[in-house]
Structure 1
Amino acid sequence: MNYTTQMDAARQGIVTGEMEEVARKELMDVSVLRELIAEGKVVIPANKNHTSLKACGIGQGLKTKINVNLGVSKDCCSIESEMEKVRRAIELQADAIMDLSCYGKTEEFRRRLVEISPAAVGTVPVYDAVGFYDKELKEITAGEFLGVAEKHAQDGVDFMTVHAGINRETAGRFKKNPRLTNIVSRGGALLYAWMELNDRENPFFEYYDELLDIFRKYDVTISLGDACRPGSIKDATDASQIQELIILGELTKRAWEKDVQVMIEGPGHMALNEIVPNMLLEKKLCHGAPFYVLGPLVTDVAPGYDHITSAIGGAIAAANGADFLCYVTPAEHLRLPTLEDMKEGIIASRIAAHAADIAKGVPCARQWDDNMSEARRNLDWQRMFELALDPEKARNYRSQSQPENEDTCTMCGKMCAVRNMNKVLDGSEPI
């Protein structure tokens, strides 16, 4: 069967192997899934060169997915340390791994990541451009920016963040509407600086059709980056953010015309009461394309605990339309995360995603909780550990404080309500 992308296949009525795999995982009729892909409401990031991939769907009616950010930087450039994080992220069931490398042997790390990862792999080409060409930002040409994107596509990257919405018009809106924290997106700031230094249009916007041709060739999903995402709750839902979102909606339709799959990236920092309206705005302005959010972080005053501020916002966002959560670690705003930071970020995001899936009525989401509740009623500790989102931590806590009676814990002992209700209902005497 002849098709170029998952969207192209879906529109031709073709069910691909990736669609069948996702449908099985999601307990969804494959014909329903195919139709959602054809409409752009679900994506399956699946580069033709990523041979170790286990297909994952993102979008309407599917389980909320989580992404993990990794990669080498100038100050922390150990490829082996980042590969250890990759292996751990896979063990912890991350759905996607995004390589944000911006220094050193980025190609080596990217290729090793794609080679072993069953999870979808994402990148941000503009991060890599400065190191790849070993040139000053101002000297990089439009063609060279596109060349990095093509190199990533050849290497098997499944989705790429492209900040095409920060064009001259959006930049003008930003200048007219000053912000407390300006532009906090690394890619957005680089492209804004490039435009200012060269007095030129954003190359990813100016040559968007050429970029789409590359993505179509390899079936790379375009993740339209939010260069103007708010970096503080003060800047949320402002003119710059909404201006860029309008542009992203227009770029979404242009990508779909070429059968390129699209995700939309969103905030950022945002007060609780603004999250639901923002989900509605994105889905409306971007025509139902899957929404990929960083957080949102619901307060700015908790450095060291931003995995929590992010999980609070992520649960609300996903329950109200977001499809994909980018994890945030306790080290956010402070340093490159360690292995333990990464784990805490993944677990917090998975909790948020699962809580949202219960609210959305995703098939079998509640069953997991019901099974855990049954194990608790039966005081079946081993079953509880098996069902725990983090079995390792649950077992460790239990082992650290042993009760006098094995069917209780050291919080309540013989006064355990579950134990005593079981005895009463069985006709035995409690305590």
Structure 2
Amino acid sequence: MKTQLELAREGVVSPEMEKVAAAEGFTGEKIRQGVAAGHIVIPANPGRKDQKICGIGKGLRTKVNASIGTSSDISDVDLEIRKAKIAEEEKADTLMELSTGGDLDAIRRKVLDNCSLPVGNVPLYQAFAEASRKYHNPNKLDPEYLFELIERQLEDGLSFMAIHCGINRFSIERMRNQGFRYGGLVSKGGTFMVSWMEYNNRENPLYEQFDRVCALMKKYDAVLSLGNGIRAGAIHDSHDRAQMAEMIINCELAELGRNMGCQMMVEGPGHVPLDEIQGNIMLEKAMSGGAPYYVLGPLPADSGAGYDHLTAAIGASHSAWHGADLICYITPAEHLALPNENDVREGLRATRLATRIGDIAKYPERRELEKRVALARRDSDFEEYFNLSMFPEKMREVRNSRKPENESTCTMCGDFCAMERGFSLFKDDIAGDKCRHPEKKKETV
């Protein structure tokens, strides 16, 4: 079996490329060229049938990932299944299953059976969780078991994996030499790998045997997302030496992986002040040869807990604008608790809205929908206004809870509706594409 990357380089437009092209409004050949260059990836493990196909990368709509999963404190499989279904309902593009509590094989398989989105994970979570249970010390993880586990998870049908290959002894030394950090270490998988390396005085086996990682990913044509295990967890740590050491390594590994025929994606921070987001993305694109960038947030402030879905949405809109390709949502529970169903819904809505805003800036030629929304609102055509907008059910819920006397207005302005007054003043001057329905000009109110 050949990977999407290998097929594309041979000039083949695969069925998956055709599906991405249809969804994005491009030709299959254009998608093939992007995949061949390593600028687009398609997470679609062929062992899992009937999963949705999406493309991630240059020129495409910015995609949104939702994360679910149990913890050692809360392990309710049915809850995670409901969250997965909400993620699909709220139009997430991909899903990460990140459980650390309970029967991890069973949870993963049940999520895969109950969701049609491409599913990814972080294999180090299960590896260290099981080593902790077996040896009462996660640092006793056997590296051979880690590789066996990665293949077992891929056999189940995972389409992408965040694997922490870029952490090495050099990057850990940078952490020590800079006097640690304001925000510490925030990546679970990354922190446990650093701990394993320090305890065993050994190099990261995922870095040391990178070709073996790529061989496994190629076998199942899964996308290798190079995890940022030393990402900044505070804006004052953004772009410190440790983070940059790992980023340089990951970007180099992205190139090496592509040369092996493996679909590659790079992960980014983290916590980044707003003024540094553009530079961060520029660095990743320049150093990785344009590999798709999977951004976790980012959060441009550290003080917004409880509303960090909004903090992250601000960062996500800038990230999408400046070239990020996949954004991992943040929920209101971030930094505080395991997300519940409503947290998943609110996190996805905020992130989808953020990426829409970013794409409006990134692709000025694709603003036609926004024009149609504005015209429907101007003409008080509430039904079309709802249907064209991102969250029609929420819009109807709010409007119906405070119904106006005049159905052409809302209770915000009532008799003082600016839209109605403005239309009555200029209805005869509407021309060109500012006239929504030339054959049905609205009568004066």
Check whether TM > 0.5. yes
How do residues 356-395 of structure 1 correspond to structure 2 at under 5 angstroms? 356-361=358-363, 365-395=366-396
Per-residue deviation, 1:250: 1.5
How do residues 36-115 of structure 1 correspond to structure 2 at under 5 angstroms? 36-115=34-113
Q: Write the distance in 1 (CA, Å) between the matches of 2:289 and 2:425.
A: 57
How do residues 24-423 of structure 1 correspond to structure 2 at under 5 angstroms? 24-132=22-130, 134-135=133-134, 136-177=137-178, 178-361=180-363, 365-423=366-424
Is the Cα contact below 8 Å between 2:35 and 2:41 reproduced in 1?
A: yes
Per-residue deviation, 1:183: 1.6
Residue 69 of structure 1: SS of its match in structure 2? strand
Per-residue deviation, 1:107: 1.3
Per-residue deviation, 1:345: 0.5
Per-residue deviation, 1:353: 0.7
Q: Deviations over 1:276-316 (max 9, x none)?
A: 11111111111100001111101111110101110111111
Is the Cα contact below 8 Å between 1:61 and 1:362 reproduced in 2?
A: no
Q: Write the distance in 1 (CA, Å) between the matches of 2:26 and 2:176.
A: 46
Q: Write the distance in 2 (CA, Å) between the matches of 1:320 and 1:172.
A: 31
After the TM superposition, list the runs of 4 or more consecutive aligned residues in structure 1 that deviate by more than 6 angstroms: 427-431
Question: Would you say how many aligned residue pairs link Structure 1 and Structure 2?
Answer: 428
Q: Deviations over 1:240-280 (max 9, x none)?
A: 11111111122112211211111110011111111111111
TM-score (norm 2): 0.93
Q: Write the distance in 1 (CA, Å) between the matches of 2:199 and 2:336.
A: 29
Is the Cα contact below 8 Å between 2:128 and 2:192 reproduced in 1?
A: no
Q: Which amino acid in 1 is paired with 2:355? A: A
Per-residue deviation, 1:423: 2.5
Q: Among all aligned residue pairs of Structure 1 and Structure 2, give the percentage whose two residues are the same amino acid.
A: 41
Per-residue deviation, 1:430: 7.0
Q: Which amino acid in 1 is paired with 2:417? A: C
Q: Write the distance in 2 (CA, Å) between the matches of 1:181 and 1:145.
A: 28
Q: Deviations over 1:359-400 (max 9, x none)?
A: 11176x412212211211221112222222112211111011
TM-score (norm 1): 0.96
Q: Write the distance in 2 (CA, Å) between the matches of 1:304 and 1:297.
A: 13
Q: After alignment, is 174-183 or 159-168 more displaced?
A: 174-183
> Which runs of 5 or more structure 1 residues have no equivalent in the other structure?
none
RMSD of aligned alpha carbons:
1.5
Per-residue deviation, 1:59: 0.3
Per-residue deviation, 1:322: 0.6
Per-residue deviation, 1:219: 0.5
Q: Which amino acid in 2 is paired with 1:161? A: A
> Which runs of 5 or more structure 2 residues have no equivalent in the other structure?
429-441
